[in-house]
């Protein structure tokens, strides 16, 4: 299969997954941290207004598919890398060897990862299945 068809198929799969509301906020945070991207410039680059990206990370606002694509390009990730995976709900840094490698200050600031968006966030995002079921007749 030619590369352009593989790309299109991957894009379509990412859209279908996004539409069901299965993005994981902590995966957004992890990608931004890995790319050392912070501040209002990230919102602008993703086609959003401050504090949208912070709300994505908190799980209280769901990004549009276009914003997800911009976030993926900005962080050099594939769009499906932001999809929740089996086991995400079990993540607890305190149960890993990584806990021993972070400073006391970092430990004090640590919070459990936010693994899913609120139902309201997904429902209010145009294009998602929840939005279509709730707002379109």
Whole-model pTM above 0.95? no
Contact between 55 and 29 (Cβ < 8 Å): no
For residue range 24-35, list pLDDT tens digits in order: 999 999 899 899
Distance CA 9, CA 11 (A): 5
pLDDT score for 1: 65
Distance CA 104, CA 110 (A): 10
pLDDT score for 137: 47
Residue 84: CB partners within 8 Å, gap ≥ 6?
22, 23, 24, 27, 115, 116
Distance CA 80, CA 68 (A): 9
What's the distance, Cα to Cα, between the start and end of the chain in Å? Answer: 39
Q: Which ranges of the chain have pLDDT less than 50?
A: 137
């Amino acid at each position: 299969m030619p590369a352009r068809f593989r790309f299109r198929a991957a894009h379509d799969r990412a859209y279908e997954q996004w539409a069901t509301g299965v993005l994981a906020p902590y995966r957004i945070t992890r990608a931004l941290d890995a790319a050392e991207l912070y501040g209002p410039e990230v919102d602008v680059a993703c086609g959003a207004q401050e504090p949208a990206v912070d709300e994505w990370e908190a799980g209280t606002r769901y990004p549009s598919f276009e914003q997800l694509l911009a976030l993926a390009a900005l962080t050099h990730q594939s769009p499906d890398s932001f999809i929740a995976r089996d086991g995400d709900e079990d993540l607890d840094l305190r149960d890993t060897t990584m806990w021993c490698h972070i400073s006391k200050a970092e430990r004090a600031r640590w919070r459990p990862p936010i693994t899913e968006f609120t139902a309201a966030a997904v429902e209010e995002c145009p294009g998602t299945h929840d939005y279509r079921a709730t707002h379109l007749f």
